[in-house]
Chains A and B, each alone.
Chain A
Amino acid sequence: MSQRDRAVAAVRVAGRGRARRRALTWRRRRQLAGLLCVLPALACTTIFFFVPLGLDFWMSFNQWPLLGDHQFVGLQNYAQAVHDPGFLGSVGVTVLYTVIITPLLLVLAFVLAVLTQGADRASRFFRTLYFLPVPVGLASASYLFVWLVQPNVGPIGRVLQLAGVVQQPPVWLAATIPALLVVVGMVVWKVTGLQMILLMAGMQSIPDAMHEAATVDGAGWWRRFLFITMPLLRPTLALVLVFSVAGSLLAFDQFYIITAGGPSNSTLTAVYTIYRTSFVSFHLGYGAALSILTMLVLAAVSAVQLLLIRQSTELS
């Protein structure tokens, strides 16, 4: 595009020598203005992303204690990482969590979006209700759930006990699967509303004319849903998926607060392991290598999902 612009401008310049200086100045000014406009963002990205990223890369090739001298060790950290049962185990936990939470969030958000997309008062009420947990901080929500499932003071165990379902309030966080379920429950409660709103925005951007045309052609609700809503929603779906999967693969806060990695380290996620490597064991170089590996996986997963967006925009 810009090449063509330049060619057109060059032809113009050649044709009208007098306008030459003015045209160039105008273009330069525009370029300069553009540069000035992106400069703050560029500076921020450089300082807060590219520089730390470069530093992270450099650290990952070193044995780097928190205090004291560091030492270049080449790829040793990476070689250690691919055989580290602790890290690989935490990657497994992270993948398991992502595989559980992603479809759960998406399906629930989809159902809620379909149910509450109307303009009537009831729809608005329930939409607000489902969105309410979204502004709650992740840490606050985590502590809330820790309290809810506490066997001594939490209401959930008490309610189950009063209902006669259990004899004693269960200790949810004492076993892996229930502990994972508590985290999943919290995230579902907190995040579904956001995905619902995003999907709803996507649904509402589909022109009514399409639905009307299909109705005239005799398509029922299901057929319209399957052949109009779903295909046109693909870019939004892909966007929601990228956000959701990236967020789940980077899960840390909710596990740090609710399960503390327990019981028996069975809910340590990848980022949790990176945190512990760097700030409990003080092996910053090894922690940096684990961060780079996690980033590569995340980039690959996101790339695949972005390919989905491109395909779907081409289709539409």
Chain B
Amino acid sequence: MITHFSAVLLFSLFVSVVFGITQRTQPEKMVRFGLFCFACMVGACILVSWLMYFIKH
């Protein structure tokens, strides 16, 4: 069963792979940019989730 968070992880992973490959020319930079995108997406999601939690409580 896919949970909300695992959906976030899967989404970020797949999008990061495509962004990394298409937005950079060198393999090392592709990996670095892909990891950066993944960290940004998951990090932003966790941050916004906690923000919404504190707004509600």
A binds B: no
